[in-house]
Amino acid sequence: MHARSAHRSLLVIGSVALDDIDGPSGMKRDLLGGSASFIARAASYFTKNVSVVAVIGADFDQKHVDELAACGVDVSGIVREPGETFHWVGKYSDDLTSRETLDTRLGVFATFAPKLSAAQSGAQIVMLGNIDPALQLDVLRQLEKPALVAADTMNLWINIKRAELVAMLGKIHTIMINDEEARLLTGEHNLARAAKGVLALGPSSVIIKRGDAGALLFNADGAFAAPAMPLSDVVDPTGAGDSFAGGLMGYLAYAGDLSPKTIRTAMIVGSVMGSFAVEKFSVDGLRDLDGAKVQARFDAMAELVRFDKLAL
């Protein structure tokens, strides 16, 4: 079961989007975005066994799909429907520490019914990117016997689809949310208490993402902290959480086991991929990476938190 030999398949469900991002350097329009775009691209550095289920509209440039395919990702589950691609408009504060959603146009997502192929139904590792929890539930119903299902969500769904979200939480292993979402979901300000509150809803692990303060994993083994890389040039935080998820899940698929030790390494890999994503707009920070660049940043991250045991 936990043999290192077999790499596992990773199935990614999420949004493929066009984003308008308003930030300190002005407004950028129609950038490639969406949870699945970041997750699959980040994961593709660790395993070539990634497939995506998503929907795009008539306006979506095929070159983005082709590029993902060139990364070795199976894009046969990205279906094109008549209508507009999912469109998200976000505005960041000048210091990039907070953002608000100015507009969300569901477009083809409004009528999307994810349909898994036989191979996708048998996926061992599944990442349900941030989309309507009703669609996440749809996907869960089509899975056979996955070893690990993780999901992401956001404040929008906590506010307007809480029942579906809670039903989804009862059926997955790991939920990844940011600190504000954990507080909103549980009504607890303290993060350790919020984590307990989330775990009480069903998942066996919760990962709380805290932007440039890193990420915390809580489960029966206790807590584990992954730092965020202290970067001097952050351009666009969009997709940091999804790239974190892609790195983490991609590494787990590559490693082929789900031991606590491997999961700790995967948390750091996630943080590494998140750090690359924020250095450029859209998925550009995830372009042109290679094993050596990922390894170098992983080593820098390890150095950041390396210390000796206290010997009084």
Please name which of 215, 17, 228 lies closest in space to residue 129, comparing C-alpha atoms.
17
User: Candidates 13-21, 66-74, 137-145, 183-191 — which segment interacts with ligand AMP by CB under 6 A?
Assistant: 13-21
CB of 239 to ligand AMP, least distance (A): 5
- CA gap 293, 129 in Å, rounded: 25
Q: Measured at the alpha carbon of residue 45, what is the angle toward residues 43 and 50, in degrees to the nearest 5?
A: 45
User: Candidates 199-207, 211-219, 232-240, 285-293 — which segment interacts with ligand AMP by CB under 6 A?
Assistant: 232-240
Assess 130 for contact with ligand AMP (CB under 6 A). yes
96 dihedral zone (left: phi>0; alpha: psi -120 to 50; beta): left
User: Candidates 32-40, 54-62, 164-172, 259-267 — which segment interacts with ligand AMP by CB under 6 A?
Assistant: 32-40
User: Candidates 1-9, 48-56, 238-246, 300-308 — which segment interacts with ligand AMP by CB under 6 A?
Assistant: 238-246
**Residues whose CB falls within 8 Å of the CB of residue 104, separated by 6 or more in sequence, listed in order:** 87, 88, 89, 156
| Chain residue at closest Cβ approach to ligand AMP | 33
* 12, 13, 23, 34: which one binds ligand AMP (CB under 6 A): 34
Alpha helices by DSSP H, listed for the chain, are 35-43, 62-70, 118-121, 133-142, 155-160, 162-169, 179-186, 191-199, 240-255, 260-277, 291-304
Assess 236 for contact with ligand AMP (CB under 6 A). no
The answer to whether 23 touches 236, Cβ cutoff 8 Å, is yes
Q: Which residue is it, tokens 């790499």?
A: 7
Choose between 88 and 251: whose C-beta lies nearer to ligand AMP.
88
**Count of residues that bind ligand AMP according to CB under 6 A:** 17
Assess 35 for contact with ligand AMP (CB under 6 A). yes
Residues in 52-111 at the binding interface with ligand AMP, rule: CB under 6 A: 88, 104
Assess 285 for contact with ligand AMP (CB under 6 A). no
Start-to-end Cα distance in the chain: 42
CB of 104 to ligand AMP, least distance (A): 5
Count the Cβ atoms, other than its own, within 10 Å of residue 254: 20
Choose between 35 and 205: whose C-beta lies nearer to ligand AMP.
35
Catalogue the E-assigned strands of 58-131: 74-80, 86-92, 99-105, 125-128
Q: Which two tokens stand for residue 129?
A: 């990117």
Amino acid (1-letter code) at residue 150: A
Four-residue CA torsion sign, 202, 200, 225, 157: positive
CB of 245 to ligand AMP, least distance (A): 8
Count the Cβ atoms, other than its own, within 10 Å of residue 59: 13
Assess 278 for contact with ligand AMP (CB under 6 A). no
Assess 241 for contact with ligand AMP (CB under 6 A). yes
* 9, 15, 44, 271: which one binds ligand AMP (CB under 6 A): 15
User: Candidates 29-37, 51-59, 137-145, 212-220 — which segment interacts with ligand AMP by CB under 6 A?
Assistant: 29-37
Choose between 8 and 278: whose C-beta lies nearer to ligand AMP.
278
Choose between 44 and 124: whose C-beta lies nearer to ligand AMP.
44
Assess 240 for contact with ligand AMP (CB under 6 A). yes
| Positions in the binding site for ligand AMP (CB under 6 A) | 15, 17, 19, 33-35, 88, 104, 130-131, 154, 156, 238-242
